Amino acid sequence: MESLWDETEAAQFEGDLGQCVYLARLLGQQGFLFSQAGTSVSVKVGEQNIFREDETFLYVSGSRQRLAAIESRGFARLRLRVLVRLVAMGTLSGAELAKATESAAVDSGALALSPNILVHAVVPAKYVAHVHSDGVLALANSPDGLARLAGAYADTVTVIPYARSGAELAARCAAQMPVACRDNDGGLVLMQQGILAYGETPQRCYERVVELVSLAKSHIAETKSPAFLAPSVSFSAPSAPLRLELAALRQEVSTSAGFPLIMSTDSSPKSVSFARRNDVGTLSQRGPASPDHVAWTRHAPLVGRDVTAYAAGEREASRAWATSDRAPRVILDPEFGMCAVGRSAQEAATVGDLYRHTMDIILASESLGGYVPLPVDVASAAFLALDEAAVRESDEQLMFVGEVALVTGAASGIGRACVQAFLERGAAVVGLDISPDVVRLYDGPGYLGLRCDMTDEDAVCQALEAAVRAYGGLDMLVPNAGVFPKGCPIASLSMAEWRRVMAVNLDANLVLMREAYPLLRCAPRKGRVVVMSSRNVPAPGPGAVAYSASKAALTQMARIAALEWGGDGIRVNMLNPHAVFDTGIWTEEVLNARAAHYGITVEQYKRNNVLGAEIASRDVAELAAEMCGPLFSKTTGAQVPIDGGSNRVI
C-alpha cells in the first residue's frame, strides 16, 4: 500500500477539520484494501461551547459517508468529555448506547454514528482512523489468529483480543493506551475489527494506516500455502439477458422482507468464480469477517442468514428462504455471481463492497489454514441498534425507498427534474438520454445515467438490462423523451419529418413499454407508469400535426396499457403539460416570436393561462412523482393537465 499523501493537496484543506477531510478522502481512495463499511476517521478540536467556555469536541465521520468524496458536513460534532464518561460506565446495551451518544452530539443532524466513536474518544492523539483492513481480518479469522497477528507485527504494536463494539472495546483500548500510545503516535490492531491508527498530525495518522496495512499484507504473502483452497473454477461472464430472472428474484427477496429492496448484481470474475466454488455453500455460511459488519448484512427484519449461496444445479431448492419471513443480504449464484441487497442503493452498494472484501478475506484465511470467523451471535448489538434506528428514520422520510424509477429524456428539462424528484423521495433512478450529459447528471450509487438512442430497439433493451443489474428491477417508468419539431403545415410536411417524429415520440415508447412490462409486473408494490403526453392531445394547434398526432397516438397507447395491465396491478396515467418554458425547445428567440405573434410581452405570454401561472419543469416532475405515490394508488388511465388552465381545453 503506497502513501498518497500530497502536501500541495493537503494545503488546500483549511483547519483541523479540513485536514481530517483530506485524511478521510485518501483512505476512501484506497478502499480496495479495506471495506468502507465501519471505516471512520476523527479529529479532536478545541473550541468554545455555547457558554463561551473552552471545550474539546470530537469530529467523527458518519458511518454512511462515502469517504472518497466526504465533505466537512459528513462529520458529526460531539462533546469529548461526555463520550469519555460513557466508557467509564462500562458495558451498555445497544439502545442505551444509542441514546447516550445522542446526548453527546452537538449537531450531528441525520448522520448515522458508529458506536466505535467511543474508541476514537479514548485515544489521546488528535487524529484517529479506524480501518477494517482485509489483511488484518484474514489473519484474525485464520486458525490461531491472535498468534498470527502478533507474529505479523512482531511486537511493534499491541494486538487487542476481540471485544464488542462500543464501551467494551473502548475500555479495552484505553487500558492498553499507556503502553501503546507513545508520543500520541502509533496504532493498535483489533482482533476481528481491523486497525486503529493515530497521530498528532493527519499525515502521520495516514502513514501509520499505510504501514500497518502493508505489514499484514506482506505477512500473508510470505506465509500462505502455495497450494490451497478448493479446485480452480472457470470464469465466463453471463452473456444472455438476466433482467427477467433478476427482477423475479428481487420480487421474492422483497416479499420475504416485507418491503421493496434494491438488489445490485456483480458479475465480475471475482464474484462469479467465488460463486462457482464447490465449497461456497459452507464457506459463505461460516459468518462475517467482522462482527461489526453484521449491521450491514442483517438489518431488522432482515435477520435471516447473512448469505444464501446457490449451489450449481440446486438453484430452485436454494430459494427456500423466500417462503419465510427472512431475506438474505447477499446472494451467490453460479450463473450471475453476486447480488447485494439493501434498503437503498447506498446500502446495497455498501453490502456489495463489504462482501467483495469478504471474499478476499475468506480466500486469504483459507490459504493460511482455514476461514474461522467468530460466531454471528457475538455480533455487536450496539452497532445493530444504531444502524436500525437510522434505517427507520430513513423509511419514515422517503416515499420510494427501496424502489427503482426509470426516466427517459433525463438530461434536461422535465426529464432532469423528474430524476431529481424521484431521488429526493428515496428512489434509485435510471436516466436515459441521447445526450452524453445524462451520464454525469448526478453522482452517487442512487443514480445511473445511460446514453441511449430511444429509437434503437437493441439499445433500449441493453439499457433495461443495465438498469436491472444495477438495482434489481423496475417499479416506476416515466416515458418522457420526445421531439417538438418546428412548425410546419400539413401541405408542406415531408414524410421523412413525419417518420422522424413518430419514431421518437411513438415507436420508441412502444418498445420501451413493451420491454418494461414484465419488469413492472415484478415490482414489489406494483408497477407505475406516468406517460408524458401533451396539451396538444385535447387542443392541437396549426403547424404541429406530426407532434400532435404522435402524442395523441401515445396517449391512446397508454390508455390501452392501463386496460391491459390493470389486472397486474400496474397503474398507467398521463400528464398533459403545456408551455413549460425552462426546457430546451423554448429559446429566447422562440419566446420572443411567440409573444410577438399574440401581441403581448414575453412575461405575459409565459402566464397566458386561466390561473396566470408560469409552469416549470419542477412543477411537472413533482406531479409525476406524486402520481406514482399512494395518493394516486386507485387511479389509472387518467389524463391530468398541468398548464395553468387552458381556455381551449376547459
SS3 14: coil
Q: How far is residue 549's CA from residue 543's CA, in Å, rounded to a whole number?
A: 11
DSSP tag of 265 = E
Decide if 548 contacts 576 (C-beta within 8 A): no
Rounded Cα distance between 124 and 188, Å, is 13
* Selection from 101, 69, 63 nearest residue 82 by Cα: 101
Query: Quick one: cell of 364?
Result: 486469504
163, 115 Cβ separation under 8 angstroms: no
Q: Among residues 444, 417, 413, 415, which one has the least CA distance to residue 428?
A: 444
Cell of 136: 488484518
Looking at this protein, which amino acid is placed at residue 154?
Answer: A
Strand 307-309 vs strand 330-333: parallel, antiparallel, or unpaired? parallel
User: What is the Cα–Cα distance from 401 to 30, expressed in whole angstroms?
Assistant: 29
Q: Rounded to whole angstroms, how far apart are CA atoms 365 and 650?
A: 72
Residue 477 CA: distances (Å) to CA of 358, 386, 442, 514, 624: 35, 34, 19, 12, 10
SS3 content of the chain, % helix, strand, coil (to 5): 45, 15, 35
CA 370 to chain centre: 33
Give bridge partners of residue 597 from the DSSP assignment.
none
Q: How many C-beta atoms lie closer than 10 Å to residue 289's C-beta?
A: 30
Whether residue 547 lies in the annotated active site: yes
- The rounded distance, in Å, linking the Cα atoms of 29 and 66 is 10
> 400: helix, coil or strand?
coil
Please give the span between the terminal C-alpha atoms of the chain, in angstroms, as a whole number: 69
**Order of strands, edge to edge, in the sheet holding 404-408?**
447-451, 428-433, 404-408, 476-478, 528-532, 571-577, 639-642
Which of the following is catalytic: 22, 162, 198, 547? Answer: 547
The secondary structure element, H or E, covering residue 618 is helix 617-627
Give CA–CA dist 528/521, Å, rounded. Answer: 10
User: What 3-state DSSP class applies to 233?
Assistant: coil
φ, ψ for residue 9, nearest 5 deg: -65, -45
In DSSP terms, 24 is beta-bridged to none
Task: Enter the C-alpha cell of residue 398.
Answer: 422517503
Positions annotated as catalytic residues are: 547
